Amino acid sequence: MNPTALTILIAYSAVTILALAAVLWIWKSTHSFDRDRKDEVDTHKLVEGEKGWFIFAVITLGILALATLAFIPYGDNAAAKGQQQVSVEGQQFAWVMNPGTIEAGTPVRFKVTAKDVNHGFGVYNDDNVMLFQIQAVPDSVSHIVYTFKVPGRYQVVCMEFCGVNHHNMIGQFQVEAAK
């Protein structure tokens, strides 16, 4: 099992276990096991508790937003000077890229479309790590800008089920060192 698959397995297992624990906890907290118990509901305490949870949620989401804002890739999609343009067309069951070679170190604008049905343009490096993906949609052109830092062989894998031969819809291209 490669490291990426292992990471995904561990992360998904952890989230599943946490979710099951939460479900169990909620179930337990809403079921009374003692039939004779007659609790007075302290609404004041509940209101105070709710305030606490609200503040907790706002702070947690705020921290998550601030911590991850810098990783949003959309800013990279702004027009960059001297960027390379590559047209990509997906069709059952192949990728056509023009031009087929790319230079490292300069932003590449991929203009992605599809000839027949929806496909997913997913680009992997030689270590099988996914770098980015974007939908390939008929009658529409999707843009994504990416800068390759390392020259070498890259793979294109279709990320959207598009027919019987979807799993074979794999392409590749070369990234050459900057001249």
Chain residues binding ligand CUA by CB under 6 A are 90, 119, 158, 160-162, 166, 169
- Distance CA(115)–CA(58), nearest Å, equals 45
Phi and psi (nearest 5°) for 102?
-130, 150
Smallest distance from ligand CUA to CB 162, Å: 3
As given in the structure block, the two tokens for residue 132 are 């980015």
Looking at beta carbons only, is 13 or 140 nearer to ligand CUA?
Answer: 140
As given in the structure block, the two tokens for residue 19 are 């979710």
User: Coil, strand, or helix at residue 24?
Assistant: helix
Beta strands 101-103; 170-176: pairing state: parallel
Looking at beta carbons only, is 88 or 169 nearer to ligand CUA?
Answer: 169
- Distance CA(40)–CA(129), nearest Å, equals 57
Smallest distance from ligand CUA to CB 72, Å: 27
Looking at beta carbons only, is 108 or 119 nearer to ligand CUA?
Answer: 119
Looking at beta carbons only, is 111 or 166 nearer to ligand CUA?
Answer: 166
Smallest distance from ligand CUA to CB 166, Å: 3
Beta bridge partners of 156: 123, 171
Smallest distance from ligand CUA to CB 96, Å: 12
As given in the structure block, the two tokens for residue 116 are 């027949």
